[in-house]
Amino acid sequence: MIDTITNVNGVINGIVWGTFGISLLFIAGVVMTVVNKGFQFTHIPHWMKMTIGAIFKDKHITAHTDAEDKSISQFQSLCTALAATIGTGNIVGIATAIIAGGPGAIFWMWIMALVGMMTNYSENVLGIFYRRKNAKGAWAGGAMYYLRDGLGAKKGCKQIGAILAVLFSVFCLLASFGIGNMSQVNSIAGNMESAFSIPPYVTGIAIVILSALVIVGGLKRVASVTEKLVPFMAVIYVIGALIISLSHINMFGAVFASIFKGAFTLDAAAGGAVGYGMKMAITWGFKRGAFSNEAGLGSSVMVHSSSNVKEPVRQGMWGIFEVFADTIVVCTLTAFVILSSGLVDLETGKMLTDVTGSALVGEAFRQLFGPIGPMFIAIAILLFAYSTVLGWSHYGSTAFEYLFGEKATVIYKVVFVVMTYFGCTMSLSLAWDLSDTFNGLMMIPNLIGVLALSPVVAKITANYVRRTFLGSKEEPMYSAFEDIQKEQMESEGE
């Protein structure tokens, strides 16, 4: 029975994350870039100013909402989204990409990130535009809502919109237990045991307690933790990677030459066709890029939709910055650390060591920091993976609420917390594969919605550009449900 499930899952996973899935992700990113006139390139100073720059100048960005207000701040929404995206993929995923696709995979990871910025932007714009308030007054938004209320509002699409919304929610719910929970805590337990000899069951008990204290408290408690945890863990890891990178600054030219050369290599595998090396570089670069920043999967939009902002483009720009921070900054630093370590032949792209995954990054850190290096990576994975669990708990809870109602979410939260223990103490090869598949299946209905609603995103973006840069006095496009929500949104302010 298990073999049958594994085989069927392998076929589905191959389709979703094979040529079809990767092509769909890339095409969606290109389409959204074109219809929005390359917003992520033409307005770099503006979106930088309105995101990372605004954190230090605009107190509204970081100010907590009132206790009775169920929304969260823009900075909290970013940190919760980054909590889910900056995870083991930024360490293990990059090592896997280089091992399987060579240094050239990093180039294609950058390409996917550059177009993925606009996919993530578009998801956030649609999330804010089509969100609703639930019975408790909290914002509820995400792909399921713009599929149902956006795509479903098109002539003849009501039923297909509703069906795709349910499918997305089901896939998201299942993925939250796998890639957002058990696979993450399993990585924590494994690294804690190898680095500090802590038994998995002890790690499991600790994670259950820590997760329960946060997750059962709801989104505002999750956001209050992630806004402190994410900047801390990201800055500490980036500092460590920067120290190594600066110590290997003489390798800068060789590393980037290897990346660009590997991206277009036409070398053949033994007995294979010419161009195999380039195919593997593209496949693994695109795949790791998608898994790392989750642009196109429709996941982070569920937390961005809970922001107290009312301007869709304002939240969309946080989506651009999210991909930039996750992939262009963190993943690139990890890649440089690995490629400058001497563990990879920069001429051929071949590995010069047998270690893989987090051990490869740990070995690169060991060269400069000694025995502390692997321990540092173990702690980094602990923080990265735990933050991913917190972020995905909200995604799964949002999907559960859509399917079964807001009152039922407490059931989901309790089960989610309990599953963290089993994730620490069991073998998860099948669970990893299944969650991989469900995570990818989320992408299909989401991208159908994003592409179908691309004219809406383009219209909202053009409206914002005219008002912001050309001095237009036209009315802002805040919500698809202005007749219902106008008073609510005006009372919350910008």
The reported pLDDT for the residue numbered 392 is: 86
Residue 489 belongs to a domain:
no
Residue 479 belongs to a domain:
no
Cβ atoms of 90 and 84 within 8 Å: the answer is no
Cβ atoms of 327 and 294 within 8 Å: the answer is no
Handedness of CA 55, 57, 61, 67 (dihedral sign): positive
Residue 482 belongs to a domain:
no
Residue 40 belongs to a domain:
no
Cβ atoms of 299 and 124 within 8 Å: the answer is no
Residue 485 belongs to a domain:
no
Whether the predicted model's global pTM rises above the 0.75 cut: yes
Residue 215 belongs to a domain:
yes
Question: What are the angstrom distances between the C-alpha of 298 and each of 54, 230, 305, 364?
Answer: 25, 21, 11, 34
Residue 426 belongs to a domain:
yes
CATH (domain of 232): 1.20.1740
The reported pLDDT for the residue numbered 55 is: 74
The reported pLDDT for the residue numbered 32 is: 96
What region does 493 belong to: left with phi over 0, alpha with psi -120 to 50, or beta?
Answer: left
Residue 365 belongs to a domain:
yes
Burial 155-177 (b: 16+ CB within 10 A, else e): eeeeebbbebbbbbbbbbbbbbb
- Domain holding 77, by residue range, is 15-31+64-469
Q: What total of structural domains would you count in the chain?
A: 1
Cβ atoms of 362 and 374 within 8 Å: the answer is yes
Low-confidence stretches of the chain (pLDDT < 70) are 1-19, 58-89, 218-219, 266-279, 284, 288-293, 356-358, 427-436, 482-494
The reported pLDDT for the residue numbered 295 is: 79
